[in-house]
Amino acid sequence: MKHPLRPLLCTVLALVASLLVPAVPAGALPGGSPRPVVTVAQGALRGQPADGAEEFLGVPYAAPPVGAARLRAPQPAPRWQGVREAVRQAPACVQFSPFGLRDPQAVSEDCLYLDVYRPRGARPGARLPVVFWMHGGAYSQGTGTQFGGRTMADLTQSVVVSINYRLGQLGYLGLPELAAENGLRSGSFGLMDQLAALRWTRENIAAFGGNPGSVTVSGQSAGSGSVCALLAAPSASGLFHRAVLQSGPCTLLRTPDGARAEADARAFVERAGCADRAAVAACLRTVPAAALVGAAGALPTSGPASGDGLLPVDPAAAIGSGAWNKVPILIGSTRSEARFFVALTQPRLTEQEYTAQVLATHGAAGPEVLARYPVSAYGSPYLALSAVMTDSSFACHTAWTARTFASQVPTYVYEFDDPDSPTLAGAQVPGLDESNAHSAELAYLYDFTMGERPLTPVQVELGTRMKRYWGAFARFGSPVVPGQTAWPAAGPDAAVLVLDPAATRTTRSFEADHQCAFWRSRV
């Protein structure tokens, strides 16, 4: 059954880019401190110290997918001579639904780059755990440069890798004519990019002090959907050893099948002026990128499709069957995910509109939904609808996806709950409480530059605890941190760790709190 929230996921998921990185001259830093140099397969890289870490920015992991390489599988990055300066982040990939870019022009098709952060003084042979991060953004926006890993690397003694991957119809276009050009018969180029970045990491991360045998693949929102795809993709086997899924449970973010992906692609190429099937591939490679973005308009970008050689089975179905790349799992959501979506689309909802929408969306179950989520219990139609949408989508699907994982592998479940958390810059609506909304946890885990205000000291402390949990999971496969609240593995009692700045605690009432038994029979 198609969930009523999914159209919103395709249009307003907003994880976006900030690309301001100061230039640093080659050689030594002021005061004579040497800058770190590593050698990867393509050549030598010179990075720079930053806080308690060292960073290597704008590192190519694949050849530029431009010109004749547009809408093709990624190819290895070319070698370079001498020492490449790695002190500037690369442009974001072309954005198909841009939101909040500081410089809307700082985008490019030449965008297959990653950033690496390591503790100061890390050297080859250190065998530090690796956290491999994939940003979200509805598969149509965002960039890895938004997520600095300096603090995570320093605090947890890990190596953090944050990547770009192709977006929109440049990243996901289910045309058989394009799929026939690669052996996987797939148009999921963004997923191919992620696999290419993982292979680059396996081959090169030891040069930074990382352990290629201890890679944790992680992502939020569409990035979490990408983790789901990697868990189910046969070609991803062995490329990672643990997985983190933030606000993107696999049973919610289902992949389209080939027929639906092709129908969406045909609608796009008609609008792009490339309807001639005999010449569609060549035509698409000559249309300017800006014109492709214009042609996409409000058409959905549904991410990787299933049913091809790259992703034979929908990830939720693959995980349910037990035929997937089994690794320990850390999974969770924020307390009030849908406040973000409702604030952006229906911030001034009236009680009459709330009632009409619930009845129209939930049919015969509508009266019971209204009885369970009365406006009087929440204080406003905005908060009531946010609760309906949070519970019926992210919260309960997180619980159900976690149960499936927990029956097969060690699984750890969290709920982020800071009633004073900031939201994304540009997403605030005066007078609305948007705390604990979708993306709220990102500023607590990464050096995230899109928060609407800085964290308070109490929130910084919560972020420190969270980083330590994530770092322990990356290192050991279980988030056990001495001196911090114990985080039990999920099991029949459905234990969930609540990440609260006042008192991190374990709860066994998560599913009851979000009325998941009620929603189970209605989705």
Residue 270, burial from CB neighbour count under 10 angstroms (0-12, 13-18, 19+): exposed
Give the residue among 377, 345, 72 at the shortest CA–CA distance from 196.
72
Residue 313: which residues within 8 A CB-CB, separation 6 or more? 232, 306, 307, 321, 323
What is the token pair recorded at 418? Answer: 């800071």
Would you give the DSSP letter of residue 172?
A: B
Residue 253's nearest CA partner among 339, 186, 311 is 311
Q: Is 218 a catalytic residue?
A: no
Q: Which residue spans within 152-240 are E strands per DSSP?
A: 159-163, 210-220
**Residue 163, φ and ψ in degrees, nearest 5:** -120, 155
Which whole-number Å values give the CA distances from 255 to 25, 225, 278, 317, 325, in the listed order? 45, 9, 27, 10, 17
Question: Within 10 A of 267 (CB to CB), how many other CB atoms are there?
Answer: 15
- Please report how the helices 189-204 and 222-232 are oriented relative to each other, as an axis angle in degrees rounded to 10: 70
DSSP 188: B
CB 330 within 8 A of CB 479: yes
Distance CA 193, CA 74 (A): 6
User: Exactly one of 158, 221, 302, 386 is catalytic; which is it?
Assistant: 221
SS3 408: coil
Q: Name the pairing type of β-strands 43-46 and 37-40.
A: antiparallel
Helix %, strand %, coil % of the chain (to 5): 35, 15, 45
Amino acid at 114: L
Tokens (6 digits) for 296: 């996409």
Known catalytic residues are 221
